[in-house]
Chains A and B, each alone.
Chain A
């Protein structure tokens, strides 16, 4: 279970560019939650994920993973419990390394790396069976450099790498936004399957209202650094796109007409 306890974060504090990115965030991510996160650009969704991942420390507040205080843990240390998939398919893999080398890096997430062989023969079978799951034929291309793969293939591989070792939470930051619609859909289905299979706790940022409603058991809506809406289970299952837009209007008033148009 992951908790955020009154987390606040300013960027460029004290300058004219000051941004109040996270405004007193209290959030409990329960074991097995699949949370979809929505909100307009600059609302604080990515900041929240980066804050959980440890890209920066909150100005105030506390973050715990399984009751362990990780507020001051740097990103690489939190990686033991938290894995991520980025929006840019190029960010999740290493282009000059082969597919098996990338997977071998992932299988050591959060573990000591020593002078043993980087790619072990006994792991190859595991890599192959996992890759076969993707249905992209990558299991035959273990020795191909990842730089040769398409964006969709790389993102599929990143999904695999992020879940090679079971994370406490999987953070997906608009991970299908940079892909063409067909590939995006494939990666989305893959995400759903992996999350379901492993019973993963996960958070997925999306701009697609249908995805936000159709996936996961819980939905949170961000606005101006605050969580303005948090529903789960039955209540979430009953949501419609119109409800969400309505919700947005209600809590924020007329000034947000532009934002709600963006969201719809």
Chain B
């Protein structure tokens, strides 16, 4: 793997890491498997792209994107809590609805972001080489996201959220409306996912309605790899592990795609197979380790 490819993979790991933090919040903290993310990632991209091409500041466009994602999460969570639709189904419904909505927002399946200002221009304007600007911007966003979410989960409200995922019966008896907490949590999660999508779009120079496919799989893969490799003893550690897991995941994919054994090499279309194998290895690794230790 060339240095260039490695930088690219770390960059991807950081920007999608923001999405992974969102997935960790729903999947692990709230115990709410949420597939909305496959729709809210391109939603963020679409909103940001439309805002920028309409002349809004690229940073402001990120705020719009995050708000859009938040609303998408709220829809899923309301369907689940208030209308008693199974969480998986509720999130799938929102996800497919978002496919149409995203095309409406963009008035087409994609929008190019060429020759417009993006969040990277502010960094390159400081004299940073263009190929590092992604690392810096994504790194800053990802680290701030981890810090913010860890802080949030230490507040009264955040502690109630942790407890809601852990023991809903108990927090209800302590006067917490678990519905409100779930709606807020799934909203925040999808806000982060949309933010991640908006940054990806600005980086790759286009928003595309198909860019969200497989988001949840990549998210879960990163979460599981992060937990297996870096542990999840405390909240701070768990979220840092999720972010690092995202980087490891992208590096592993880059490594696999660059692999050449004799005449064989992987195609980009083998990505899903590689992801599945990665997740399976991460899931069975702790088991295997225990068994070997016992001998």
Residues of B within 8 A of A97 (CB): 159, 162-163, 166
Residues of A within 8 A of B156 (CB): 104, 108, 113-118
> A175 CB to closest chain B CB, in angstroms?
13
Q: Is A79 an interface residue (CB 8 A)?
A: yes
29 contacts between A and B (CB under 8 A): A53-B173, A75-B173, A77-B177, A79-B176, A91-B169, A92-B170, A94-B162, A94-B170, A94-B171, A95-B167, A96-B162, A97-B162, A97-B163, A105-B159, A105-B160, A105-B174, A106-B174, A108-B174, A110-B175, A113-B156, A113-B160, A114-B155, A115-B157, A117-B156, A118-B155, A118-B158, A118-B159, A119-B159, A161-B174
Q: Is A83 an interface residue (CB 8 A)?
A: yes
> A38 CB to closest chain B CB, in angstroms?
23
Query: Do A76 and B178 form a contact, CB below 8 Å, given A105-B159, A115-B157?
Result: yes
Instruction: A74 to B179: give the CA distance in the assembly, Å.
Output: 12
Given contacts A92-B173, A94-B171, A108-B156, could you give 9 more A-B pairs where the C-beta distance is less than 8 Å? A76-B175, A79-B173, A79-B176, A83-B173, A94-B162, A105-B163, A114-B155, A114-B157, A117-B154
Q: Is A111 an interface residue (CB 8 A)?
A: yes
Residues of B within 8 A of A106 (CB): 174
> B25 CB to closest chain A CB, in angstroms?
15
The B-contacting residues of A in range 147-204, CB under 8 angstroms, are 161
Instruction: A101 to B234: give the CA distance in the assembly, Å.
Output: 13
Instruction: A83 to B158: give the CA distance in the assembly, Å.
Output: 22
Instruction: A77 to B176: give the CA distance in the assembly, Å.
Output: 8
Instruction: A228 to B202: give the CA distance in the assembly, Å.
Output: 73
Instruction: A96 to B176: give the CA distance in the assembly, Å.
Output: 18
Chain A interface residues (CB < 8 Å from chain B): 53, 74-77, 79-80, 83-84, 86, 91-97, 101, 104-106, 108-111, 113-119, 161
Which chain B residue shows the least CB distance to A95? Answer: B166
Instruction: A109 to B177: give the CA distance in the assembly, Å.
Output: 11
Instruction: A105 to B163: give the CA distance in the assembly, Å.
Output: 9
Decide if A109 touches B154 in the complex (CB within 8 Å): no
Decide if B175 touches A111 in the complex (CB within 8 Å): yes
Decide if A79 touches B170 in the complex (CB within 8 Å): no
The A-contacting residues of B in range 126-170, CB under 8 angstroms, are 152, 154-160, 162-163, 166-167, 169-170
Query: Do A79 and B167 form a contact, CB below 8 Å, given A108-B156, A113-B157?
Result: no
Query: Do A77 and B175 form a contact, CB below 8 Å, given A94-B167, A95-B166?
Result: yes
Decide if A91 touches B174 in the complex (CB within 8 Å): no
Which chain A residue shows the least CB distance to B157? Answer: A113
